[in-house]
Amino acid sequence: MDYIDFLKSKQITIEPSGFDINISELNTMLFDWQKDIVKWALRKGKCALFEDCGLGKTPQQLEFAYQVHKHTGGNILILAPLAVAKQTQREGVKFGYDVNICRTQSDVKQGINITNYEMLKHFDASKFIGIVLDESSILKNQTGKYKKMIIDLFKETPYKMACTATPAPNDFMELGTHSEFLGIMTQTEMLSTFFVHDGGETSKWRLKGHAESKFFEWVANWACCMTSPADLGYDENGYNLPQLNIIEHIVKSDDLVDDEGQMMLCAETSLSLLERRQARKSSLKKRVECAAEIANNIDSQVLVWCDLNDESAELTKAINDAVEVKGSDEDDHKTSAMVGFANGKVKVLVSKPKIAGFGMNWQNCNNIIFVGLSDSFEAYYQAVRRCWRFGQTKEVNVHIIISEKEGAVKANIERKQSDAKRMTSELVKFTKDILQAELKSTTRISESYIACDKMIVPNWLRSEII
């Protein structure tokens, strides 16, 4: 082996494990760019779609599942958050797919099946030829039971797709868990290949400067990241988000005494997590009153987000026609309430982002109220994007109600939002050309030059030999 061959052997290559399909065989209701992405996904066999909210991940994943079933004859399982299964089934009807909602292996039918993540333990992974993760950011939790269970159960599944709008809002770690699920590279291998420890904190990793372009090239081999069709060179007509209005409401604090008993001119901003939680509890009544005043003066639908059980209960009492969805509710009630909000039967929905903040399409609503903020940017982002998504025709009003002692929370969210936007921008920028080439099956054309004539050096260029 010569040195060139040695270098080539060190290149990271990902061989497609899927199959080719003619674009004319794909669902005619899909947009051209969606067809190109599905064709690419089927050829890859194992891939991720990191597409922004409203770009049609659901019909793309359904077409992927349908074509895999058609090609192999095997059954497909889609895992999704609660209530998203019903929404996906409804989307399936619109696009001509038969989607079977099931809760156990005995409910499985030939073709496309869907269940919520909580039911996974009731299924036999070996019985499925393909697996699709809807809202695959569930893989984010490094030590979470679902991450390990999903990766282990579907390790040998031939066809895999992971779909989410937020692959890694704060750092690159989640890309590693997606890569591991797809069988591309383990998270440990990804970190050791492309990253270095950032200082003494072993949980902090920094992308190697010389490996940056190779890292994004590697990601583009198995993931499609886009915020708009224009990111990949397609027409963005119809994919312009409406105005987003962030309206902050600061609730005055009654506690203006410091630890030494001195009166303060204004409330001290709480910096620690414990201090912020205490500030939230002490300001609960005023924040609920503020939220109720806003919601009760809006004629159209309102989505109200909170984080504490007491907030949820008090909001439901104070807001007219409010329906509460909490963790202890039966699945049937959760599904009925969330689907009811989607079809307009429920005027005001009160819940927590971790319960109802993922996967649902609620562009029928353009008024959102946060009765406080948690430190999770992903929860905030996903909660806003339930309504502020492609397909929304009205300006979206987001009311954020916080105690004056919680100023650090908003600043923290804004910092994370800036970080997420920068990371996504870099990911799109580095992968655009690679994905365009793969999606459209373009190749670089070059001609070999073979010299046939003998080259003669002119006399005036010759130098005398002394």
Confidence of residue 296 (pLDDT cuts 50, 70, 90): very high
Q: Comparing 67 with 2, which gets the higher pLDDT?
A: 67
**How many domains are there within the chain?**
2
**What residue type is assigned to position 201 of the chain?**
E
Looking at the predicted structure, is the pLDDT value of residue 206 above 70? Answer: yes
Question: Taking residues 346-355, what's their average pLDDT?
Answer: 94
CATH number for position 118:
3.40.50.10810
Do the beta carbons of residue 395 and residue 242 sit within 8 Å? yes
Q: For residue 147, which phi and psi values (nearest 5 degrees)?
A: -60, -50
Within this chain, do residues 81 and 171 fall inside the same structural domain, yes or no? Answer: yes
Within this chain, do residues 161 and 290 fall inside the same structural domain, yes or no? Answer: no
Select from 113, 110, 157 the least CA-distant residue to 134.
Answer: 113
Confidence of residue 255 (pLDDT cuts 50, 70, 90): low
Question: Considering 237, 254, 284, which residue would you say is the last residue of a domain?
Answer: 237
Within this chain, do residues 91 and 135 fall inside the same structural domain, yes or no? Answer: yes
Confidence of residue 357 (pLDDT cuts 50, 70, 90): confident
Is residue 139 in some structural domain? yes
Task: Look over the chain and give the mean of its residue pLDDT values, rounded to a whole number.
Answer: 83
Question: Considering 213, 237, 261, which residue would you say is the last residue of a domain?
Answer: 237
Within this chain, do residues 266 and 176 fall inside the same structural domain, yes or no? Answer: no
Residue 157 is predicted with a pLDDT of 97
Within this chain, do residues 320 and 229 fall inside the same structural domain, yes or no? Answer: no
Q: Which residues pair with 197 in a beta bridge?
A: 205
Is residue 413 in some structural domain? no
Query: Which structural domain range is residue 207 located in?
Result: 9-237
pLDDT tens digits along 389-399 = 988 999 999 99
Q: Comparing 252 with 371, which gets the higher pLDDT?
A: 371
Residue 203 is predicted with a pLDDT of 59
Buried b (16+ CB within 10 A) or exposed e, 262-295: eeeeebbbbeeeeebbebbeebbebbbebbbebb
Is residue 465 in some structural domain? no
Would you give the DSSP letter of residue 226? E
Measure the CA–CA gap between 48 and 40, rounded to whole angstroms: 11
Q: Indicate the range of 89-98, 244-253, 408-417 predicted with least confidence.
A: 408-417
CATH number for position 269:
3.40.50.300
Residue 169 is predicted with a pLDDT of 46
Is residue 3 in some structural domain? no
Question: Taking residues 138-151, what's their average pLDDT?
Answer: 80
Looking at the predicted structure, is the pLDDT value of residue 212 above 60? Answer: yes
Looking at the predicted structure, is the pLDDT value of residue 405 above 50? Answer: yes
Q: pLDDT above 90 covers what percent of the chain?
A: 50
Residue 10 is predicted with a pLDDT of 47
Residue 446 is predicted with a pLDDT of 37
Within this chain, do residues 223 and 266 fall inside the same structural domain, yes or no? Answer: no
Distance (Å) of CA 122 to CA 35, 114, 132, 409, 432: 33, 13, 17, 39, 40
Within this chain, do residues 178 and 298 fall inside the same structural domain, yes or no? Answer: no
Q: Comparing 372 with 94, which gets the higher pLDDT?
A: 94
Looking at the predicted structure, is the pLDDT value of residue 422 above 60? Answer: yes
- Alpha-carbon dihedral angle through residues 136, 140, 142, 143, given to the nearest 10 degrees: -60
Within this chain, do residues 196 and 296 fall inside the same structural domain, yes or no? Answer: no
Nearest-10 crossing angle of helices 84-95, 331-342: 50
Question: Taking residues 151-159, what's their average pLDDT?
Answer: 96
pLDDT tens digits along 29-86 = 999 999 999 999 999 999 999 988 889 999 999 999 999 999 999 999 999 998 899 9
Within this chain, do residues 377 and 403 fall inside the same structural domain, yes or no? Answer: yes
Q: Which two tokens stand for residue 388?
A: 């502020």
Confidence of residue 269 (pLDDT cuts 50, 70, 90): low
